[in-house]
Amino acid sequence: MIRFENDYTEGAHKRILKRLIETNEEQTPGYGVDEYCEKAKAYIQRECDASNADIHFLVGGTQTNTTIIASILRPHQGAVAAITGHIAIHETGAIEATGHKVLTLPSDDGKIQAKQVKELYDAHWNDVTHEHMVQPGLVYISNPTENGTTYSKAELEALSEVCRECRLPLVLDGARLGYGLASIDSDLTLADIARLCDVFYIGGTKIGAMFGEAVVIINDALKKDFRYMIKQKGGLLAKGRLLGIQFETLFVDGLYYEISKHAVEMAMMIREAFVENGFSLRYDSTSNQQFPILTNDVILELGKKYSFSFWEKVDATHSSVRFCTSWATKKEHVEMLVEDIKATKREKNGNDRVI
Amino acid sequence: MIRFENDYTEGAHKRILKRLIETNEEQTPGYGVDEYCEKAKAYIQRECDASNADIHFLVGGTQTNTTIIASILRPHQGAVAAITGHIAIHETGAIEATGHKVLTLPSDDGKIQAKQVKELYDAHWNDVTHEHMVQPGLVYISNPTENGTTYSKAELEALSEVCRECRLPLVLDGARLGYGLASIDSDLTLADIARLCDVFYIGGTKIGAMFGEAVVIINDALKKDFRYMIKQKGGLLAKGRLLGIQFETLFVDGLYYEISKHAVEMAMMIREAFVENGFSLRYDSTSNQQFPILTNDVILELGKKYSFSFWEKVDATHSSVRFCTSWATKKEHVEMLVEDIKATKREKNGNDRVI
Amino acid sequence: MIRFENDYTEGAHKRILKRLIETNEEQTPGYGVDEYCEKAKAYIQRECDASNADIHFLVGGTQTNTTIIASILRPHQGAVAAITGHIAIHETGAIEATGHKVLTLPSDDGKIQAKQVKELYDAHWNDVTHEHMVQPGLVYISNPTENGTTYSKAELEALSEVCRECRLPLVLDGARLGYGLASIDSDLTLADIARLCDVFYIGGTKIGAMFGEAVVIINDALKKDFRYMIKQKGGLLAKGRLLGIQFETLFVDGLYYEISKHAVEMAMMIREAFVENGFSLRYDSTSNQQFPILTNDVILELGKKYSFSFWEKVDATHSSVRFCTSWATKKEHVEMLVEDIKATKREKNGNDRVI
Amino acid sequence: MIRFENDYTEGAHKRILKRLIETNEEQTPGYGVDEYCEKAKAYIQRECDASNADIHFLVGGTQTNTTIIASILRPHQGAVAAITGHIAIHETGAIEATGHKVLTLPSDDGKIQAKQVKELYDAHWNDVTHEHMVQPGLVYISNPTENGTTYSKAELEALSEVCRECRLPLVLDGARLGYGLASIDSDLTLADIARLCDVFYIGGTKIGAMFGEAVVIINDALKKDFRYMIKQKGGLLAKGRLLGIQFETLFVDGLYYEISKHAVEMAMMIREAFVENGFSLRYDSTSNQQFPILTNDVILELGKKYSFSFWEKVDATHSSVRFCTSWATKKEHVEMLVEDIKATKREKNGNDRVI
């Protein structure tokens, strides 16, 4: 079985593994106050062009989102997010478990627009009964989104402007941030993101690290006591240097960008194979997740050799599925898949596969 | 200003006030373990035909919903509700503040149907990633709904059946329960509700009492330690006998039904006045809340003499508004309003008011 | 049975009841934005010599403490309180239910001293692992305390000074505030309390009102969005004017002080009777709660005619109990009790009752 | 600097690192449903003599304690723990953040006894106002404790019996479990712990693993939906197989016991060195943590070469400190320390170091 079901099927990039081995017997203080964490922070500040940013390392995405959001909101406030947002659907109510509602905005492609945020904000404050409703307290976006789409610089600037106007911190979930930045559609850099967001995180788990997410806090007002929050939410890793070593390796000389680029190239090969062979795509993704719409029999056939995720039923005979690539995706596996996609067409020669 | 803006503009029904005066100097134990509470419980058990029901008295609706729901759910579970449900919109995230997501179902009229619950339940359990999502843990409905509509016995039976099949406790918010039961459309009794729901409450605040809601717990599995929950959520009134006295008075000889009937009759006069004079209704309500769609100038004109609530904008020139009646509504005020609705038509003689 | 078991055994003071009756049929807007609430707020601001104070009315004490504390703290902070504090023991974990630890300080008489707060604060910040511990976020005291003792002006000034130095808001639970102010030992006024605390509340439930607590927020930084918090925590009474009417009556012309004084006089009669007849007191209380230490047989004997609360076992043959007086305590009842205390001595003539 | 400050100063045991390297490029499904996790579970079930136990792997201790405790308790219940317990002090209120009070029992050595649990339980249920207090909902212990002491089989059996009698699940924090089992004072096995506890966890982070804790749920009633809880609390590692691989390696052939034994032998060398040279011990620990009481000047002197933790001030000139050993502690470092302890004595020749 060749796995495209997600972007965390392997361990760690070999250079990261090498560094973990080299440093294994060293003794360092715990909880992330070691020199590796310090170095990793400096590299990330440099990449973000944000020397005053506070950087913290956590283990996983749900933990990171929860810690950030719980740290920012007062009890009567909620997090504004796309209805497709990870915090809105796939974190088992972790945000609600800290007492906060996720205020959802409609979205088909995973993105939300500045106009929507402004309308929701105005609707709240113009309602005479607003004290009976959850107050919008921050805006959460993912880039790339859970659907593989990415924000353009113009879109992010517009969002950022509205958020600052409404005094709503803008929080960006970057679990797959590298793959978003590597998208051919993206005109954003880490420095842009640092300029436009109040808090964001740089995902390591899905991009070369064994595990780990780097939180970047830009807004000074949100920096206070964040380590207490990490500890309370269970994210303060005893051997914190493991996170520092990994992020140092990812950012010392551009490894993060390099392996992100590889994953996206692999994804585009898959995308093209589906499109050229007459399949539609559920979302117009140019990052590492691809969502072709397949007939049920194609799903069964490809499923014998490849693992991928069911996404959603489209009609009685079609469903969309998700293929993920990653830093670890082997080109020969993608080439094999491309051939099999082609073969599927030749064998079936059926319009029924295409909508 | 004659107020139709809500159903809690006055104090208490005169018979309740009389009993509060008569008993004022008596000494009783605190926290609802007095004889008045005992008597009130017995009357409610009788009305519900549920001699084993546990009855508890709380002060207000948000508190009551929160206490019930927090008492039932485990941390990873959520409350299924109509998107229009009070807990979903108008309780400042009280449910989320106890750690639980409100899982919303679409609804235009405020009701949800058995089929929707089953589909949501199946969708959860059929999803291979269900552990990443909030598990449906109970079903919350309001009767009458926040839009004035009521469930038929058949609808409630179907909901109850699905809930039992899915092992989801069915919780009914009865903040306006009397007005629902008094609706000419309703074929439900308190005993039906007790038979079909696991927990519900009988609203007093909006129906004759100065304040107070009576929780009825039918399902034995949900009875344990409920008083701890009331105390923790701030609902254990020191002078609990005040609640007992009020509910005793409401249920000793049918006062609750009688005053509910009055309110609904007043509401139907208002409804008819609007309909006969060519106004549409936003919802087909036959309980104490009426939602006519008015032109902006009619809103301004009626607003000079009567207070009522803005509901929602319909188009550039029309909005729906809410008129509430209650146990305290004076017939002469309604007659005056009816005349003014008619006059509005005569003066304007305009089709523009009607859609 | 003559009840001294608590200070909420009766309904409301007759002048309050009279005002509730007089205003019963008036129509007012809901949720505390009516003219009665406005007037009550103005009277309280006047008494507090704090024209900029925000005043809010809630129903009960647990709700009030929870709403205040949850409104102030960030998630990693806790409320510092005496180990005997109401929030530490008798609110079923209401504070913890909002996510916050109660950080307890030892106390035998119910009070905490400035020095203790400073030591706890220093201990936290001097600990290198302080991020692994709950950060002190506010200081909670009760006046009078749960043991009937009261803070002197000097003690409260010292606490206030330390709190301001440590940037810890000082919150005062005034569920029995009137009885504390009326204590012969007290040199505090409402204006002193307003000057020295950041937030406090003036208890009505136990002092003449049918129910109700008036929150006074002095510190501007703590005023924001408090009504959202009240709603979320279930404390926003629909018929808010009921609270306004009651507090207006209590404060329009000094009723609150007058009835508090009565209660304390009654308590002092009881205190003296016990002391003069050779009984010890568990706490040196000069407010409305008295805690004599009685032999088990005296407890049984007095218990035939009077209800009072068991407090704690002292040794095999003695326990302390609590007698409460209130605004409603009848002098003839106290005189009868005083006689019975004397009689107890005469009949038994036993040293065994006394320690 | 030679570090004895904690037991997580190095990376992972070389055999674990080797397995992580060997498996690095394999593709597995995410979230702990891979074959490595399955194998690790089977080994742990075998060691626990509990083939029906549910096993789950999480990343760190605070997360694990919080997930277990939040999963078990209803909202009005608390966790009974020693006042020295990790959840009571050093998790930044993580338990309270899920809504639950930690009900502390006095303890000087870190242990609690069956009698204390019974007394607390009885005190709660015998109090007539128990509904106003947090209900004990489970008992939490650590073995070894935070002070290095261990429970004997007789003590644990007594605790277990009381807990079952009181229907309080017994939860054991085994962050350092291996070091407890390896203590010369311990007559417990993993199978004993599985027999006597309802839920416990086997710490990996401090005992050879890079990170990871293995939760063992024995009580069937507590197994339901635990994975939802892990996800919500942020503990469901994407690359779950990393945990499976580590625990498989630790338990396939006794590595866990072997390296635990080494650590304890190293600790006993340190203990003996202190004792033989006239130092007192703050706790009588025979596990991997040692708490000598040193004079301030000895602390300064040893601190030049070794890192260790300040524990608590004993008097003006003495403090207790903590030396930890671990699976990774080098014998030559311990021998050097032993020499330096001796030298300290020779140089100073002072009785002032000893109390």
Q: Are residues C144 and C177 in the same domain?
A: yes
Domain assignment present for residue D2? The answer is no
Provide the pairing of β-strand B318-324 with B309-313.
Answer: antiparallel
Give residue B161's pLDDT. 98
Nearest to D213 by CA among D15, D10, D55: D55
Distance CA B111, CA A314 (A): 28
Shortest CA distance from B8: residue in chain C: C239
Same domain, B190 and B295: no
Mean pLDDT of B171-195: 97
Question: Is A92 in contact with B134 (CB distance < 8 Å)?
Answer: yes
B67 alpha carbon, distance to own chain's centre: 16
A219 interface with C at CB cutoff 8 Å? no
> Which residues in chain D are closer than 8 Å to C92, comparing Cβ atoms?
76, 131-134
List, for residues A285-339, the tens digit of each pLDDT value. Answer: 999 999 999 999 999 999 999 999 999 999 999 999 999 999 999 999 999 999 9
Question: Min CA distance, B50 vs chain A (Å)?
Answer: 34
Whether residues A92 and B133 touch (CB distance < 8 A) is answered with yes
Site from A96, A308, A310 to mutate, B interface, most B CB atoms within 10 angstroms: A96
Burial class for A281, CB neighbours closer than 10 Å (0-12, 13-18, 19+):
middle
Give the number of beta-carbon pairs within 8 Å between B and D. Answer: 45
Nearest CA in chain D to A175: D238
CA distances (Å), origin A89, targets A135, C96, C134: 20, 27, 31
Q: Residue C87 sits in a domain of what CATH number?
A: 3.40.640.10
Domain that holds residue B288: 256-347
Cα–Cα distance measured from residue C271 to residue C290, given in angstroms and rounded to the nearest whole number: 6
Among D226, D253, D280, residue at a domain's last position: D253
Q: What is the percent of chain C where pLDDT is above 70?
A: 97
Please check whether residue B6 lies inside any domain of the structure: no
Asked if residue D1 belongs to a domain, the reply is no
**Whether A241 and A198 share a structural domain:** yes
- Give the Cα separation of C327 and C208 in Å (integer): 6
Give me the phi and psi of C353, to 5 degrees please. -80, -15
Q: C294: domain CATH number?
A: 3.90.1150.10
Chain B residue at shortest CA distance from C89: B232
User: Would you call D94 and A231 a contact, using CB atoms and an 8 Å cutoff?
Assistant: yes
Is D31 inside any structural domain? yes
Is C302 near chain B, with CB under 8 Å? no
Q: List CB contacts of B102: < 8 A, sequence separation 6 or more.
A: A101, B78, B79, B81, B85, B87, B88, B95, B96, B140
Given CB atoms, is D310 within the 8 Å cutoff of chain B? no
Asked if A242 lies within 8 A of D11 by C-beta distance, the reply is: yes
> Is C63 in the same domain as C179?
yes
Helix (H) or strand (E) run with residue C222 in it: none
Q: Is residue D146 part of a domain?
A: yes
Q: Averaged over A140-149, what is the pLDDT? A: 98
Same domain, A230 and A327: no
Considering only alpha carbons, which residue of chain C is nearest residue A67? Answer: C75
pLDDT for B347 equals 63
- Reading chain C (355 residues) residue by residue, the pLDDT tens digits are 999 999 999 999 999 999 999 999 999 999 999 999 999 999 999 999 999 999 999 999 999 999 999 999 999 999 999 999 999 999 999 999 999 999 999 999 999 999 999 999 999 999 999 999 999 999 999 999 999 999 999 999 999 999 999 999 999 999 999 999 999 999 999 999 999 999 999 999 999 999 999 999 999 999 999 999 999 999 999 999 999 999 999 999 999 999 999 999 999 999 999 999 999 999 999 999 999 999 999 999 999 999 999 999 999 999 999 999 999 999 999 999 999 999 987 665 444 444 4
The closest of D28, D67, D64 to D248, measured between CA atoms, is D28
Asked if B329 and B236 sit in the same domain, the reply is no
Judgement on whether residues A218 and A301 belong to the same structural domain of the protein: no
Q: What is the mean pLDDT of chain B?
A: 96
Residue D234 has its nearest CB partner, among A10, A14, A60, at A60
Please indicate, yes or no, whether residues C279 and C206 belong to a single structural domain of this protein.
no
Establish if D60 touches chain A: CB-CB under 8 angstroms: yes
Q: Tell me if residue A40 falls in helix, strand or coil.
A: helix
Contact D231 A92 (CB under 8 A): yes
Distance CA D71, CA D65 (A): 10
pLDDT at A344: 87
In a domain, D8, yes or no: no
Q: Which residue of chain D comes nearest to B97, CA vs CA?
A: D99
For D96-116, what is each residue's pLDDT tens digit?
Answer: 999 999 999 999 999 999 999
Which runs of E-coded beta strand occur in B143-236? 170-173, 199-203, 213-217
Q: Is the domain of B263 the same as that of B138?
A: no
User: Which DSSP string do the residues of B65-79 spell out, in sequence order?
Assistant: HHHHHHHH--TTEEE
> Both A206 and A173 in a single domain?
yes
- Angstroms from C104 CA to nearest CA on chain A: 19
**Interface residue D123 vs chain C (CB under 8 A):** no
- Residue (of B89, D72, B182) closest to A103 by Cα position: B89
Q: Is residue B20 less than 8 Å (CB to CB) from chain C?
A: yes
What is the count of structural domains for chain D? 2
3-state SS assignment for residue C204: coil
Whether D71 is covered by a domain: the verdict is yes
A309 touches chain D (CB under 8 A): no
| Cβ neighbours of residue A213 closer than 8 Å, sequence gap 6 or more | A57, A58, A59, A60, A61, A63, A64, A174, A175, A201, A202, A203, A204, A205
Please say which residue of D218, D253, D288 terminates a domain.
D253
SS (H, E, C) B79-106: EEEECCCHHHHCCCCHHHHCCCCEEEEC
Position D347 scores a pLDDT of 63
Q: Identify whether the C-beta of residue A341 lies closer than 8 Å to the C-beta of residue A271.
A: no
pLDDT in tens, B24-60: 999 999 999 999 999 999 999 999 999 999 999 999 9
Q: State in Å, rounded, how far the first CA of chain D is from the last one.
A: 28
Residue C351: per-residue pLDDT: 45
Is there a single domain that holds both residue D238 and residue D316? no
Instruction: Provide the number of CB pairs (under 8 Å) joining chain A to chain C.
Output: 45
Q: Which of D192, D222, D253 is a domain's end point? A: D253
Residue A189, pLDDT above cutoff 50: yes
| Residue A304 bridge partners (DSSP) | none
- At C141, which amino acid appears? I
D128 touches chain C (CB under 8 A): yes
Enumerate the residues of chain C whose CB falls inside 8 A of the CB of residue A229.
75-76
End-to-end CA distance of chain B, in Å? 28
- Does D231 contact A63 at a Cβ distance shorter than 8 Å? no
Chain A positions in Cβ-Cβ contact with residue D16 (cut-off 8 Å): none
**ipTM for the complex shown:** 0.96
For chain D, residues with pLDDT lower than 50 are 349-355
User: Chain B window 64-83: which residues touch C at a Cβ cutoff of 8 Å?
Assistant: 64, 66-67
d(CA A336, CA A326) in angstroms, rounded, equals: 16
User: What is the distance between the alpha carbons of residues D183 and C82, in angstroms, rounded to a whole number?
Assistant: 39
CA–CA separation, D139 and D118 (whole Å):
11
CB contact under 8 A, D6 and A59: no
For residue C64, which residues of chain B lie inside 8 Å, CB to CB?
Answer: 234
SS3 B285: coil
Q: Which amino acid is at D102?
A: V
Q: What number of other Cβ atoms are within 10 A of residue A95's Cβ?
A: 28
Question: Mean pLDDT over all residues of chain A?
Answer: 96
The set of residues, in sequence order, having a beta carbon less than 8 Å from that of D188 and lying 6+ positions away, is D143, D150, D151, D152, D153, D156, D180, D181
Q: From the list B3, B30, B205, which residue is nearest C6 (CB)?
A: B30
Same-domain pairing of A160 and A277: no
Contact call for B100 and A96, based on CB within 8 A: yes
pTM tops 0.90:
yes
Of B20, B21, B94, Cβ closest to residue C232: B94
Whether B2 maps to a domain, the answer reads no
